[in-house]
Chains A and B, each alone.
Chain A
Amino acid sequence: MRSIDLRTPRRLAAAAGLMVCALVTVSPGPARADAPAAQWQAVNRAIVQGHVLPRYAALARATSTLQLQTVRFCADPRPSSLRFLRRAYALTAQAWADVEHLSTGPVMREQRRYRIRLWPDKHGTAAKQIRALLASADSAALEPQAFRGGSVAVQGLTAMERLLFPVADVAAEDFAGGDEAAFRCALLRAIGDNLADIAASVADEWESGAAADAGARGTMGETGGSARDAAAGFLRDLSTGLEALAMNKLERPLGPAPATARPKRAEAWRSDLTLQLLRANLASLQHLYMTGFSPVLTTDPIDGALDLRIRAAFTAALAAAALDQPLPALVGDAEGRARAQHLLAETRALQVLIGTKLPEALNLPLGFNSLDGD
């Protein structure tokens, strides 16, 4: 069974007419049907100030360091500078995992979300396009204007990971001497500049927008819409983030059986960051919940019980994510697979609470999401 994707669940929706009448006489009506705009403003403000702004600021710092390390490395490609660059890459990937679920506001402008990272790349487009770009050695394609307007698959983290962590062991020399190596480095630098530019814009626009809009809706999310709409947007991010985690990050690599497990469908298998990023996702989603929605539930005894269930489900999912081996190594192995499936089950259980019970309690609609297609 799945619930229709568009939910403004109401406690009383399924109740008989008699029940409705009875309840109207003794209670003001569905829990939060007429929750004042001020409540949603407070939720949005807490999320923006406590969750969104600090995370985008951290992403901007991480990409700025990454940019610096690409410049240093390409000026003098040595094993030590490659190590620093890879480290900066890992920190940026982690900072992205902390905001990956957010899909409102500046990150949605100019395809920024996808330019930072295209994943999953189900059709293998990044490999194809990077191969073609390296073969062409077309430096005009790396000019900022052209690079920004080109394919998203070559301009972000997915492409940089392929350059820094190829299957064959990469050496600093691969980026030094010869025209091909020089172009490889030029591409690295173009990606570094691009990421730093995008992340700085997103952070700046959130800061200035949030300041301008703080009194009205508590968020600068999409233009138009009410504070309640903006809160519903954050709820959708929370739910879709968990869905993406279960579907893209766990089910796709697990596949139907051990023999057909697909370890290379795991996120970040090249850089060996799979589990680290997955845990960062879960922790950040937990933080979003605790910052924005948990405080609303705890004002009501019935909803308070749901809050406890959701908190426990987050704890259980995070505990299941404490695997001692990389996910790609686990999926094809019977015993390891069981542990990965346990993590999937805990994530799914959490997603059901967040995707069906929480919208009902908050009386917020979830709407359709981008994962509803194939």
Chain B
Amino acid sequence: MFHRQIATACALLGAGFAGSMQAATSDANAVLIHYADMAQAKYADALKTAKDLQAAVDTLLASPSADTLASARAAWKTARAPYQQTEVYRFGNAIVDDWEGKVNAWPLDEGLIDYVDTSAYGEESDENPYYSANVIANETLTLSGREINASEITKTLLADELHEVDAIEANVSTGYHAVEFLLWGQDLNGTGPGAGDRPATDFDPDNCTGGHCGRRGAYLRTATELLVDDLTWITEQWDADGAAREALLQDPKQGLAMMLTGLGSLSYGELAGERMRLGLMLHDPEEEHDCFSDNTHWSHYYNVLGMQNIVTGTYKRVDGSSLNGPSLAELLAAKDADAADALRLRLEESLAQFDVLVDSAEQEGVAYDQLLADDNDAGNAKIQAAIDALLAQTKAIEAAVTALDLDGVSIEGSDSLDNPQAVLHGT
């Protein structure tokens, strides 16, 4: 086998080997261009649905009621679907990775933002001095030894002063999960049924519950605006002359390595590990990705669907139209048809396992946090089956890397992940 490949290569060398290399390169380029096009479409959809969320938040704040709060919550859930499908662009694309903490940092010490029930939450943490800072209730804050005027809730305050203050990742003041906490409040049901249940009057200065309703509304409005700003920025990075697209298309081999690094890292270390396995081992209801809204089943499902998009080259947009183009599976099939079939199949199997989690929440009324309970063996098994599917999928991605001859290809990583010295010495 080895010798035959070499013989073929040698024959080609005499008869237009360079031409054949060019064909392979252009195939890879076409796949990468479509991968970038799908990124642009996904982020544009995430942006559009975030703007819808912003409109719903404006309505809620203009006339706080159970109905307007329910509409804002529904808009948040809708906005999550396209965003979670973009997460497969993390890890491999340094620009995305350096940016994503602004919009999807998790888990968070929500006591930084607003009131909490201390009987469940506690009052302090070894890891975080701002565990209960409560910016909504406090117009003056001491951060890193400096006194901060927080009398006005501004984008600068949330994004530049509070977010990840003192480099503590649990200090999340912006992004989907900060907005989620404001819309739902803490889920105080443990591993029992029910999500967060913040009353609409928390946003009603005239009939205020929870105190500081005006500041809470200002926080929600500002955090939602920031989400729209941040999604606008990342969508532009995938424009024809955007930096993310440019970095991806510099070199086909490196571009493919970036694509597969994103797929493998999201499958294994992030989704199977941080977001799922840890929660299962701790049986802790707060170890679910969307812990205030109990929307975790959908968030995980759309992560997996986002990975399948990359494999099949197909993305269904929020307006119902479809984006189809050259896919990783096709490129892989030209090199190793079995590896391509296995990769497609593993993704199908994963999606089926995550369907089980969706059905549990949506059909049977058993949410993800209930599946985590230590006395729920059947629930634990459902989560474990989904984790196992992700592990099998990771093996298929590893096989694809080998088949595409990407082993050992260096990719540009993000500063925070790969160049600790740059972070340590500041910029």
A contact residues vs B (CB 8 Å cutoff): 1-10, 13, 17-18, 20-21, 24, 29, 33-34, 111, 114, 118, 122-125, 127-129, 131, 149-153, 246-247, 251, 254-257, 259-260, 262, 264-265, 341, 344-345, 348, 356, 359-360, 365, 367-374
Contact = CB atoms under 8 A, between A and B. Distances in A.
A255 B266 CA distance: 25
A24 B6 contact: yes
Given A2-B413, A4-B411, A29-B2, A373 B145 contact: no
A227 B306 CA distance: 35
Interface in B1-19: 2-3, 6, 9-10, 12-13, 17
B6 A20 contact: yes
Contacts of B283: 150-151
Contact of B286 (A111, A118, A123, A345): A123
B282 A129 contact: yes
B93 interface: no
B257 A4 contact: yes
Nearest to B421: A345
Given A4-B260, A256-B426, A368-B269, A118 B410 contact: no
Contact of A123 (B265, B281, B287): B287
A20 B9 contact: yes
Interface of B: 2-3, 6, 9-10, 12-13, 17, 21, 91, 107, 122, 125-128, 144-145, 166-170, 257, 260-261, 264-271, 273-275, 281-284, 286-287, 374, 394, 397-398, 401-402, 405-413, 417-418, 420-421, 423-424, 426
A126 to B, nearest CB: 9
Contacts of A153: 281-282
6 contacts: A10-B407, A13-B405, A127-B126, A251-B420, A262-B127, A374-B274
B374 A4 contact: no
A21 B394 contact: no
B103 to A, nearest CB: 14
A131 B120 CA distance: 11
B240 to A, nearest CB: 26
Contacts of A371: 269
A355 B398 CA distance: 16
B13 A21 contact: yes
Contacts of B91: 372-373
Contact of B269 (A3, A344, A370): A370
A259 B145 contact: yes
B61 to A, nearest CB: 31
Contacts of A341: 424
Contact of B409 (A3, A34, A152, A367): A3
Contact of A6 (B166, B274, B402): B402
B406 to A, nearest CB: 6
A123 B413 contact: no
Contact of B407 (A9, A259, A345, A370): A9
